[in-house]
Amino acid sequence: MNPRKDLITINSLSDEDIHTILQSTSAMKDIFTKSVKKVPALKGKSVLTLFYEPSTRTRSSFEVAAHRLSADVTTFTVSTSSVVKGESVHDTIDTLMSMKMDYIIVRHKNSGIPAVIARHCKAAVINAGDGSHAHPSQAFLDAFTIKEKYGEVAGRRVVIIGDILHSRVARSTSTILRRLGAEVAYMGPGPLVPPQQHTGIPRFTNWNQIFEWKPDVIYLLRVQNERIDTPFFPSADYHAAFGVTEERLRRIDDLNLSIMHPGPVNRGVEICDAAMNYRNCLINNQVENGIAARMSILYHLTPQTQSHD
Amino acid sequence: MTNTYITNATWALTGEKIDLRMGHGDEPVSIYRNGIALPGINQVTPAGEMQVPAGARTIDATGKILMPALFDLHTTISIDGHSKRECIYRAGQAANRGGVWGMLVMPSSGFIFDNTATLDSFDEAVSQRSFATMVPAGCITEGMKGEQQAPYNTLAARGVTILSDSGNMPASLLMLHRAMKYAAEMDLTFAIRGDVPCLSRNTYMHPSSTSYILGLHGTPPCAEEIGIETIIRLAKDAGVSLHVQTVSTAEGVEIIRRAKAAGMKGLTAEVALHHLLYTHEDVGDYNTTFKTTPPLRERTDCEALLAGVKDGTIDCIVTDHTPCLPFAKKQDFVSAPQGMVGLDTFLPALYTHLVKPGKLNWADVVRACSSAPVKIVNPYDREEDVPVVAPLLLFAPEEQQVVTCESLCCGTTNNPMLNSTLYGGVTLPINR
Amino acid sequence: MPTINKADIERALDAWADHLLQGWAARGSAQLGIVGIVSHGDILAQRLVKKLETAGCQAEYGAIDITLYRDDLDLRGKRPALRSSHLPFSTDDMHLVLVDDVLSTGRTARAALEVLWEYGRPARVEMHCLTDRGGRQLPIQPDYVAFDLTTASTDTVKVSLQELDGKEEIIY
């Protein structure tokens, strides 16, 4: 993999980059079997988590990943009330530059913010989710989880279900899976799935079409009411139309399909309680693989903080 | 507002071949072998093989085009952090470079044209600082807040002919409807952009493959189209003149075409040059220069808009000049302000991208960028008590310029043609 | 350039296995583990384990990638690719033999020792290698060397093994 400072989107990566990061994810997972679950690769390096949107899960996953690589982790708390438009991001960048951070992991509600930060600082910037744009570390852990389950991603069929319009996970995960040779389809309520001529991804409108398509993986998105200013639909209605109900779970079980979800799940909305204990539910694998994938990403990025000062 | 371009001296243009494009068709009216005498302000003496008058000063115009200067119907001049006088000076200088002699100045921060005092101080600053004629558009609502109607009678008495909240729709249609009825009797024209604010709120570009990839919420074309239909019906009912600002969709053009065909009086429309040239694809990887309101749409929309200009459905091509500081445009796409600047490059850009490739002819340009906007605004010299008439400019089509940050006079660099080569050199006034 | 051929390597591995057997027999109790350093030491370790098994000695096999423990990660512009480590046993109280193809500065061996300690506390660790080209920069000495090569620091030593490179030779 050629030296790369930042990870902002899957689109910006070469095929070689994607393969290298996936391959190293597997090596990182080996570390979890040691009694000392830590390697010295990033000893003395400083990692900053800069989350403008609350997310305990993703943030912890990155922090554990950084700790396991022996990096020092600082948590930059941004109280949402003090954030005034994008100006504060520029001010924050100046502050971060003075702190001489090597890696900055950023999450923001505005699409495109991590790219702006990356352009203006020497630290390696990792996009931990920006608006509806991209969530590349999630894409890597998803691809790795499918690869681990099926041996190869190529040739698999994955249907992503839910609010595609607002979902950075749908964008990044569909991109990496298609780059690796999988087929992806979308399903969700009309107002929340962009048309195929915009996405290039076929669109289903109901579960019968999905079962006919014979997917390998059912990938459920979280219904994010907090990201939609006006709620689009009642959640019970969503569950009946698009969720994994107990009846659909039996069908999924019969067909031996896997279930994935980026978490945290809304039980009774996108997924029924029973599905959480389904034998092919890969949600916990995703969480564990998330740490390994993020270690691999941290390891492969090369900050430009060394060559200066 | 005095015309500062040509004094009353007698001038003569000399040259083997001078094209005269006065908007009477694509063919030059006549080609003068020896020269054109200009005995007074803006008058051309058609003289065939005439003699250069004794004592006339001559200007070599070989191979150049003589045409009326342009009038931009949609300019925002305020630049954050700059004094009003500086903003006026910059816009005037930029206009001069781009072949623009006058402009309708949209109200904006620092230039809230809802009272006499602001208009007086503006006119005074313009007369001292500007190279170009600047006609202020009065506010539709007080402070452009969209709520309380501005004092139209006072504004009209001060010479205001156009009312605009810089494109924005007032929040209440009831308020707008009453305002239109009130203004109808004062012969004022409303300039509004078609929009349904609740449909376009928190949207940043055209819904498209680009908006999907970038994760930016799309502004549905129907928001603009419903808006256009709405303001047309309100204006028709109120009996007021309406100028539809910055139409960006094919269906929007069609709605205006239908209304005009149905015989609606006092209806005019404009398109911004960038909506004829660019699409959502130019946004690329969050290029904030291409963040505009309304957004850049599909190629088919560009074509429909151009057809609208050709057949007269769209009366004017405007710059929608909007200076944005580099700092502001360097923010992320969502936070960055919308708008482009275009005064500096207006005529060369029209020539390079529309006339030279044969999409428009000179008659279209003169009509859409000079005579039609002047007719809508009716600029009037209140001191001399005469209408202000467009001066002439000389355009050298073979000249080339690379647009650079240094070459732009308007004070900011959010010009989409930055670092590209444009054809055409402008001499305005012709004796510059 | 001098070359050591397939037959030479085969003979050396037999002698190497004999040496391991004798040591094991002499020490008795402690469990023996052969740990190769990827990506050539692990192949050598596999072959040695097989030879020991034929001779009736059950030794554990492990492979470790020391990339994440290198002391020069920051000096390279590009991060080296990672390979899987495979050490399916606790190293507590084990008698471990580290196996690598080329011993030179000793930095790889240092990193390998660091790795081993993170899997437990071995009773004893030996360093065995196919070639020793000299040029040590750390106080590390091998316990067993199959080929002692005399090289200058500018020379390259290239070990090719059938499983990885499709041929079997040492060129130096």
Sort out which chain C residues have CB atoms less than 8 A from A3's CB and list them. 77-79
Mutate to test the interface with C, among A34, A297, A300 (most CBs of C within 10 A): A34
pLDDT category, B291, cuts 50, 70, 90?
very high
Task: Provide the β-strand partners of residue C147.
Answer: C131
Do B334 and A110 make contact, defined as CB atoms within 8 angstroms?
yes
Residues in chain B: 432
Most confident option among B308-322, C45-59, C69-83: B308-322
What is the pLDDT at residue C146?
Answer: 95
Phi, psi for B381 (deg, rounded to 5): -85, 105
- Rg from Cα positions in chain B: 21
Which residue in the set B208, B217, B332 is minimally distant from A116, CB to CB?
B332
Average pLDDT, chain C: 92
Which residue in the set A90, A132, A200 is minimally distant from B215, CB to CB?
A132
Q: For the stretch A101-129, what's the b/e string if a residue is b when 16 or more beta carbons lie within 10 angstroms of its beta carbon? A: bbbbbbbbbbbbbbbbbbeebbbbbbbbb
pLDDT exceeds cutoff 60 at B24: no
Average pLDDT, chain A: 91
Do A110 and B332 make contact, defined as CB atoms within 8 angstroms?
yes
- DSSP-derived pairing of the beta strands B133-136 and A258-260: unpaired
Chain B stretch 283-302, residues whose beta carbon is closer than 8 A to a beta carbon of chain A: 285-286
Choose between C123 and B384: higher pLDDT: C123
Peptide bond into B28 cis (omega under 30): no
Q: Please name the helix (run of DSSP H) or strand (run of DSSP E) that holds residue A176, with its range, or none.
A: helix A168-179
Q: Does B81 touch chain A (CB under 8 A)?
A: no
pLDDT exceeds cutoff 90 at B213: yes
Do A132 and B209 make contact, defined as CB atoms within 8 angstroms?
no
Instruction: Indicate if the alpha-carbon torsion angle C128, C134, C138, C141 is positive or negative.
Output: positive
Percent of chain C predicted with pLDDT > 90: 69
3-state secondary structure of B255: helix
Smallest Cα distance from A199 to chain B, Å:
6
| Segment among B15-24, B259-268, B293-302 with least mean pLDDT | B15-24
- Comparing alpha-carbon positions, the chain C residue that sits nearest to A37 is C118
Domains of chain C, each with CATH number or no CATH: 3-21+31-71+82-171 (3.40.50.2020)
Domains of chain B, each with CATH number or no CATH: 4-63 (no CATH), 68-387 (3.20.20.140)
Average pLDDT over every residue of B224-228 = 98
pLDDT category, A229, cuts 50, 70, 90?
low
Q: Judge whether B385 counts as a catalytic residue.
A: no
Smallest Cα distance from A11 to chain B, Å:
9
CA distance C169 to C172: 10
Return the number of other C-beta atoms located less than 10 Å from residue B257's C-beta.
18
Query: pTM for the whole thing?
Result: 0.89
pLDDT category, A235, cuts 50, 70, 90?
confident
Smallest Cα distance from A39 to chain C, Å:
6
CA distance B370 to B356: 19
CB contacts < 8 A, A to B, total 69
Sort out which chain C residues have CB atoms less than 8 A from A27's CB and list them. 65, 82-85
Q: Which chains touch C (3 or more CB pairs under 8 A)?
A: A
pLDDT exceeds cutoff 90 at C90: no
Q: Pick from B87, B67, B140, B63: which is nearest to B371 by CA?
A: B67
Do B333 and A200 make contact, defined as CB atoms within 8 angstroms?
no
Q: Does B220 touch chain A (CB under 8 A)?
A: no
Do A198 and B207 make contact, defined as CB atoms within 8 angstroms?
yes
- Comparing alpha-carbon positions, the chain A residue that sits nearest to C84 is A27
Smallest Cα distance from A212 to chain C, Å:
39
What is the pLDDT at residue C7?
Answer: 94
What is the pLDDT at residue B1?
Answer: 26
pLDDT exceeds cutoff 80 at B294: yes
- What confidence tens digit (pLDDT) does each residue in A130-181 have? 999 999 999 999 999 999 999 999 999 999 999 999 999 999 999 999 999 9
Peptide bond into A3 cis (omega under 30): no
pLDDT category, B31, cuts 50, 70, 90?
very low
Average pLDDT over every residue of A268-292 = 95
Do A296 and C82 make contact, defined as CB atoms within 8 angstroms?
yes
Output helix, strand, coil percentages for chain A, rounded to the nearest 5.
45, 15, 40
pLDDT exceeds cutoff 90 at A99: no
- What confidence tens digit (pLDDT) does each residue in B152-202 have? 999 999 999 999 999 899 989 999 999 999 999 999 999 999 999 999 999
Q: For the stretch B411-429, what's the b/e string if a residue is b when 16 or more beta carbons lie within 10 angstroms of its beta carbon? A: bbbbbbbbeeebbbbbbbb
Burial environment of residue B293 by CB neighbours within 10 A (0 to 12, 13 to 18, 19 or more): buried
Average pLDDT, chain B: 88
- For chain A, which residues lie within 8 Å of any Cβ of chain B, measuring from their own Cβ? 11, 85-87, 89-90, 108, 110-113, 115-116, 130-134, 165, 168, 171, 194, 197-200, 229
Do B335 and A132 make contact, defined as CB atoms within 8 angstroms?
no
Sort out which chain A residues have CB atoms less than 8 A from C117's CB and list them. 36
Do A132 and B285 make contact, defined as CB atoms within 8 angstroms?
no
Cβ atoms of A93 and A66 closer than 8 Å: no
Of the residues B72, B165, B320, B344, only one is catalytic, namely B320
Smallest Cα distance from A31 to chain C, Å:
8
Sort out which chain C residues have CB atoms less than 8 A from A144's CB and list them. none
Q: Does this complex have an ipTM over 0.85? A: yes
Sort out which chain B residues have CB atoms less than 8 A from A91's CB and list them. none
